[in-house]
Structure 1
């Protein structure tokens, strides 16, 4: 057992697999809290208007005082939310974060303590098995379930959004920003979802994790986005939704090739009784690896250009698409909300680096002397299994990349709203009617 594997086992014992999932979920809530608070307090953005949510009953045309009145669970505001209502959203996220952090920490400490003696006590063992499930269940209930109380409009909106998204639906008429933030964030949590699936598998099975199930779990977020893109394309006939569909499809190709590689590796063992030779298997693996790198290059390049041009609305690549366009890397200054050129370019560069982080897999070389820093970094990030610290860092970096993406996505949607709607002279960036926002 090499040093990297040993460190991976140590980390896996320090942060057990289910608590990786739990802490990743908590991290997402914490980053969302920072995002909303910064946009409101520092930039005075009305996030509730972007989400088409309000905490005032009179702003809903058909609420009638009861949140369960609507059969569809769709609540688009008839009047835009007052900017100060964002404080309610911030306090709500903060309250949920505090409760999650407290419960998660207590659960983690109990789990670790029980783990020291569970093999010696038949009563502690089932508690040790069920405690992570109870903690995960509480987290999902706290964030994604709903109460019938009038004060929980935000939580109910989260419930209806997640319910719609898991079915592959999207409300592109009145809640597109609301839905896109959740569904795109889900794609960044695909590895975390796979960790959860692996944990459930290991609870009920002593066999090695099924590669086909892993493929299905990793593919689900992308398949959801593909269904949403196809729905919007049929609804609007706008080709950009078809191109978006192809972007998510390109993301599934490396996952599929990775499945084929793992299925081939199962045959590469001394007990192989099939007619295919070891040499043929190695040649097949070499070809599949080449295909994986090519597919990953296509997907990362496609996704990065889409982030910059379509999701953020920047003009960095406009010379490629429109040769007569005057080169402006971002947008005109009066359409930049954050007014921080270093910040914009830093996010773009970070997005590029993290989109291509998989390149370090090329440098994974074991059992050799005089390895470079790239070899060590590649081995650390991608050379071990899901229980390792390096793998966890990759998951956290993707969540961090999505968090930065959200800042510029919210700004882009805000700019689009300003272009579409008539701005109130007294409150130029606060009262914006949302109902006609269809985001071409």
Structure 2
């Protein structure tokens, strides 16, 4: 029973491990099969050895991500250099009399998109700081898992930075070389492309995020429902970009009436000219949207704070319309009567808005310690709990609030370079405002959740006491 020799099959799992040669071969006719299996397994082992070598060789051939990033940065700077060179040489080809008028028209078409691009870069920076801190901005804005992170926002901003100046450079080059019709088509194509990307219904180019943006804009224009944090947050940002909407209106008006690549804007009686009534109307729209939101919020909550907030936005209306009256009244009447009223309304709007930013939107009356980061870094050391950060933000906010009044004044719009710089500074002020406003909202949400938990614990304790009392009474 135990004396005969038992020869197990060559494919027994007890005699070899995966990738090794068989230890025992079958005799007779099975020997060849065992040899073939051993040969095949040896080939598999060699293939397994060759595969990591091929992967390592492929990894050695592929450039590192840092090298690719440096190459992209180099291409970006080369592109910027060529755009500046072509644009400057194109402007220098024009006569001195035509140059200033033409540059104003170029700014009219492209400065709104340049300011929007600047705002997108800053919004990506906001999201980057939030991702490094304890603030959950996705929870605050009630975003789903498909929301864009800071890298994707910066990617969008990078493409905007490439496309918009490229179109402006082509506009300058074609106009300076006599191709007026082709030059006029450049801003038209750019605006149409931007509009198509926003409303494109297919699942490309971040469809869910575009839908969220358009839905929020619709809720801002028609506040027929309860106001969410995302609604009035975006509406506040739109108030800082009122000049962008005003220039967009003038640009679209000129495109519709085929006045691109002309100087018809300089004529006061032009339908899209600098004296147009549509300019103050478009400037005041973001403030009216925010005003109606505050009234809607008061209707839902009955909080008097919403009425005071609505009063703040109403103070921007006289600043805009008193300034626009310069083009529609006699100069003496403007200088002696309307100009002092404009200055008084400007000071009132600036101081009221500054007070509301510090005490209501930011709640910095006690210099609370904010900007708490998840892990120590150079930014956490610079920002967290530093008093100079608060002094800088409060001081710069006051100064930029006052200069923003200059921006809202329609009678000062001919200083287009100064107005463009002030508009960019206002967007930067709003970029600073976002940090403190979102942090304050996050602190409020945490305090509410803590209060609710404590209240639920207290109610649970009360229920226990009632049960104990009822049981004692029954006994």
Separation of aligned partners in 2, 1:223 and 1:12: 32
Q: Give yes or no for contact 2:287–2:316 (8 Å, CA) kept in 1.
A: yes
Q: Give yes or no for contact 1:147–1:156 (8 Å, CA) kept in 2.
A: no
Does structure 1 residue 48 correspond to structure 2 residue 138? yes
The alignment's TM-score, normalised by the length of structure 2, stands at 0.63
Q: Deviations over 1:352-390 (max 9, x none)?
A: 0111126889xxxxxxxxxxxxxxxxxxx9996446311
* Superposition deviation, residue 114 in structure 1: 1.1
Separation of aligned partners in 1, 2:432 and 2:97: 33
Q: Residue in 2 aligned with 1:184?
A: 236
* Superposition deviation, residue 95 in structure 1: 2.6
Separation of aligned partners in 2, 1:387 and 1:360: 10
Of 289, 297, 315 in structure 2, the residue corresponding to residue 232 of structure 1 is 297
5+ residue gaps, structure 2, are 1-95, 265-269, 374-383, 454-475
User: Quick one: structure 1 residues 19 and 227, their matched pair in 2 at CA, closer, same or farther if it must change by over 3 Å?
Assistant: same
Of 244, 247, 271 in structure 2, the residue corresponding to residue 195 of structure 1 is 247
Separation of aligned partners in 1, 2:275 and 2:317: 18
Of 115, 119, 125 in structure 2, the residue corresponding to residue 24 of structure 1 is 115
Q: Residue in 1 aligned with 2:317?
A: 252
Q: Residue in 2 aligned with 1:389?
A: 417
Q: Residue in 2 aligned with 1:413?
A: 441
User: Quick one: structure 1 residues 411 and 386, their matched pair in 2 at CA, closer, same or farther if it must change by over 3 Å?
Assistant: farther
Stretch moving more, 195-204 or 22-31: 195-204
Q: Deviations over 1:13-56 (max 9, x none)?
A: 69532111111111111110111112212x24221111110226
1:332-351 mapped onto 2 (5 Å cutoff): 333=369, 338-351=384-397
Separation of aligned partners in 2, 1:7 and 1:296: 35
Q: Residue in 1 aligned with 2:169?
A: 109
Does structure 1 residue 158 correspond to structure 2 residue 240? no
User: Quick one: structure 1 residues 19 and 149, their matched pair in 2 at CA, closer, same or farther if it must change by over 3 Å?
Assistant: closer
* Superposition deviation, residue 238 in structure 1: 0.7
Q: Give yes or no for contact 2:280–2:324 (8 Å, CA) kept in 1.
A: yes
Q: Give yes or no for contact 1:24–1:192 (8 Å, CA) kept in 2.
A: yes
Instruction: Name the Cα RMSD after superposition.
Output: 3.3
1:265-280 mapped onto 2 (5 Å cutoff): 267-268=330-331
User: Quick one: structure 1 residues 209 and 221, their matched pair in 2 at CA, closer, same or farther if it must change by over 3 Å?
Assistant: same
* Superposition deviation, residue 341 in structure 1: 2.2
Separation of aligned partners in 1, 2:151 and 2:242: 28
Q: Residue in 2 aligned with 1:99?
A: 159
Q: Residue in 2 aligned with 1:436?
A: none
* Superposition deviation, residue 106 in structure 1: 2.4
Does structure 1 residue 314 correspond to structure 2 residue 364? yes
From the CA coordinates, give the structure whose radius of gyration is larger.
Answer: 2
* Superposition deviation, residue 108 in structure 1: 1.9
Task: State the secondary structure of the residue aligned to 2:149.
Answer: helix
* Superposition deviation, residue 144 in structure 1: 6.8
| Aligned pairs, number | 334
Q: Residue in 2 aligned with 1:64?
A: none
Q: Give yes or no for contact 2:124–2:151 (8 Å, CA) kept in 1.
A: no
Separation of aligned partners in 1, 2:204 and 2:432: 33
Separation of aligned partners in 1, 2:425 and 2:170: 28
* Superposition deviation, residue 422 in structure 1: 4.4
User: Quick one: structure 1 residues 117 and 334, their matched pair in 2 at CA, closer, same or farther if it must change by over 3 Å?
Assistant: closer
Does structure 1 residue 214 correspond to structure 2 residue 279? yes
Separation of aligned partners in 2, 1:210 and 1:360: 17
Q: Give yes or no for contact 1:22–1:136 (8 Å, CA) kept in 2.
A: no
Separation of aligned partners in 1, 2:404 and 2:115: 20
Q: Give yes or no for contact 1:201–1:209 (8 Å, CA) kept in 2.
A: no
User: Quick one: structure 1 residues 302 and 170, their matched pair in 2 at CA, closer, same or farther if it must change by over 3 Å?
Assistant: farther
Of 125, 131, 138 in structure 2, the residue corresponding to residue 34 of structure 1 is 125
The alignment's TM-score, normalised by the length of structure 1, stands at 0.68
User: Quick one: structure 1 residues 359 and 241, their matched pair in 2 at CA, closer, same or farther if it must change by over 3 Å?
Assistant: closer
Higher relative contact order (CA 8 A, sep 6+): 1
Q: Give yes or no for contact 2:319–2:345 (8 Å, CA) kept in 1.
A: yes
Separation of aligned partners in 1, 2:418 and 2:290: 28
Of 385, 389, 401 in structure 2, the residue corresponding to residue 355 of structure 1 is 401
Q: Residue in 2 aligned with 1:75?
A: none
Separation of aligned partners in 2, 1:7 and 1:47: 49
